Every structure is written in structure tokens, then in C-alpha cells.
Chain A
Amino acid sequence: GENVEQHPSTLSVQEGDSAVIKCTYSDSASNYFPWYKQELGKGPQLIIDIRSNVGEKKDQRIAVTLNKTAKHFSLHITETQPEDSAVYFCAADNRAGNQFYFGTGTSLTVIP
């Protein structure tokens, strides 16, 4: 099955700086790559996603880039704010598009 690796596991940035989280995947048939934000005691929430026919997608301060050839995708958060502090997960779907495989998460801390 698909294998998704995520780095770094922890990340601390100063407020206003940028944060980048990177993921790699193993199955070239994966087509859909979502990113989730999980706040303490809550379930994950989708913040941005990208499909394999797109190289980059942006939504205000967050963006995702995808390199299909290298099989890696990244989350970029600009002008970070304390409320961005959370655990972020990347994921990839399987060949059939009916299952999702998650990375191990990145704990982001934005220091005021």
C-alpha cells in the first residue's frame, strides 16, 4: 500500500515567519493530497488539498506544492500567527481513491 513520510516532526517559528512542512509518498497512482490541521482535543480539519494534475495551489496564507516526478508535496504557511500552532498532517489517497494514508504529523509552534 501507500507509504507517506512527513518531516519535520516538530517545528518552531517566530510569529510572522514562514513554515514549510514536507511529505513524500510511494505510490505513483495517488491522485489526491490533502493537508489537515488538528488542534488539541479535536479531530483533524482539512485546510487545503491538491490533485495530481495541479502543481501548486494557494489559499490566502497557505499554499501546497506538488512534484509528481519526485513524489513529494509541501505545505507552506506564510506570515505565521500564534493561532497557526497545531499539529499538521499530510495524506495521500490510494490507487482506487477510496482510502487515505497519513503522515506522522508535524507539531508547529508559532512563538509570539
Chain B
Amino acid sequence: NAGVTQTPKFRILKIGQSMTLQCTQDMNHNYMYWYRQDPGMGLKLIYYSVGAGITDKGEVPNGYNVSRSTTEDFPLRLELAAPSQTSVYFCASITRGGLARNEQFFGPGTRLTVL
């Protein structure tokens, strides 16, 4: 299993540009999450999904959009990039329900800079 994969690893955007951060997991997890991590801070939840076709906002959703058309993929869309979106973005997945352990598996992250 590759686990959780994210692309790209690094990206520099100009203000107002748009981009999609890709996230794929091959563990058949039903829950997926997008977090951002700013320097010296913990992870803040942007959006999450409890299954294909279902998404919901987290703590800091403004300026982002997501979709979940398949169990495996959970892309994060930035429509009009702003300097405040400079951060490291992590995707994570988890299986919940029954006796499943709540371990979140994280991807390696995407470092985004908006200039």
C-alpha cells in the first residue's frame, strides 16, 4: 500500500491564481481530511469527507473547495490564491465504525507559497 499520497510537493502561486492539491489513499478509508499547518501552529481542519459524495466544512474553510467523487480521491481547490493561504497542507484518511481504530494516516504534505 502506498498509503496517502499528495501532489505536488511544492508549489509557488501568484495572487489570484488557482490550483488543485491532489490527495489519494489506497486503504479504502471512508473518512478523509484536509488540514493546513502554519509555522509554530498545530493543524487546522479545512474540510473533511465521511464518504464519496459527502463533504463538510472544518474550522478554516474560507477560500477553499473540495469534492469527493470516489473513495480514493479528495482534491482541495484554491480558486483565488491569497498570501494568507501560504502554508503546508496535509491530507489524511481514517477508517471509522465498528472496531476500527481511529488512526489517521497523513500524506507527506504540500508546501504552498503565494506571492
- A16 within 8 Å of B (CB atoms): no
- A1 within 8 Å of B (CB atoms): yes
Given the interface contacts A32-B102, A34-B102, A46-B103, does A100 sit within 8 Å of B45 by beta carbon?
yes
Rounded to whole angstroms, the CA-CA distance of A89 and B43 in the bound complex is 9
Q: Do B40 and A105 touch (CB < 8 A)?
A: yes
- A104 within 8 Å of B (CB atoms): yes
Given the interface contacts A42-B109, A89-B43, A102-B43, does A97 sit within 8 Å of B104 by beta carbon?
no
Q: Do A89 and B102 touch (CB < 8 A)?
A: no
Interface string of B71-115 (1 = CB under 8 A from A): 000000000000000000010100010000111101111000000
For the complex formed, measure the closest distance between the CB of B106 and the CB atoms of chain A, giving whole angstroms.
3
Q: Do B90 and A43 touch (CB < 8 A)?
A: yes
Q: Which residues of A contact B61 (CB under 8 A)?
A: none
- A69 within 8 Å of B (CB atoms): no
Q: Do B42 and A43 touch (CB < 8 A)?
A: no
- A45 within 8 Å of B (CB atoms): yes
- B41 within 8 Å of A (CB atoms): yes
Rounded to whole angstroms, the CA-CA distance of A42 and B110 in the bound complex is 10
For the complex formed, measure the closest distance between the CB of B23 and the CB atoms of chain A, giving whole angstroms.
11
Rounded to whole angstroms, the CA-CA distance of A6 and B42 in the bound complex is 10
Q: Do B96 and A44 touch (CB < 8 A)?
A: no
Q: Do B108 and A43 touch (CB < 8 A)?
A: yes
For the complex formed, measure the closest distance between the CB of A44 and the CB atoms of chain B, giving whole angstroms.
5
Rounded to whole angstroms, the CA-CA distance of A43 and B31 in the bound complex is 17
Interface string of A70-99 (1 = CB under 8 A from B): 000000000000000000010101000111
Interface string of A26-48 (1 = CB under 8 A from B): 00000010100000011111100
For the complex formed, measure the closest distance between the CB of B36 and the CB atoms of chain A, giving whole angstroms.
11
Q: Which of B40, B50, B102, B107 has the most chain A CB within a 10 Å cutoff?
A: B102
